[in-house]
Amino acid sequence: MKKAVFVSGASSGLGRAVAEHLSSRGYTVYAGARSFDREDVSPPAGCVGVKLDVTDTASVSAAFRYMLEKEKEIYALVNCAAFFTMGSCEEVPPEELARIMNTNFIGMVRNVQAVLPVMRKQGYGRIINFSSINGVLAVPFQGAYTASKHAIEGWSEALAQEISRFGIDVSVVEPGDCKGGSQKYRHRCSASADIASPYYEYYKAGTDKIHSDEENGMDQLRVASAVCGLLDSKKPPYRKVVATLTQRSSIWLHKFLARRTFNGIITDYYAPKK
**Which of 27, 30, 75, 145 is the catalytic position?**
145
User: Among candidates 227, 220, 136, which has minimal Cα distance to 182?
Assistant: 220
pLDDT band at residue 95 using 50, 70 and 90 as cut-offs: very high
In the residue annotation, 145 being an active-site residue is answered as yes
In the residue annotation, 131 being an active-site residue is answered as yes
Q: What is the pTM of this model?
A: 0.95
**Which of 11, 88, 192, 250 is the catalytic position?**
11
What CA–CA distances, in Å, run from 95 to 56, 98, 101, 156, 193? Answer: 17, 5, 10, 24, 18
**Which of 8, 23, 88, 131 is the catalytic position?**
131
- At residue 274, the pLDDT reads 74
- At residue 156, the pLDDT reads 98
Domain boundaries in the chain? 4-270
- Cα Rg of the chain, angstroms: 19
DSSP letter for 119, please: H
In the residue annotation, 11 being an active-site residue is answered as yes
**Which of 149, 240, 250, 270 is the catalytic position?**
149
In the residue annotation, 132 being an active-site residue is answered as no
pLDDT digits (tens, 9 = 90+) for 121-179: 999 999 999 999 999 999 999 999 999 999 999 999 999 999 999 999 999 999 999 98
Architecture of the domain whose range is 4-270: 3-Layer(aba) Sandwich (3.40)
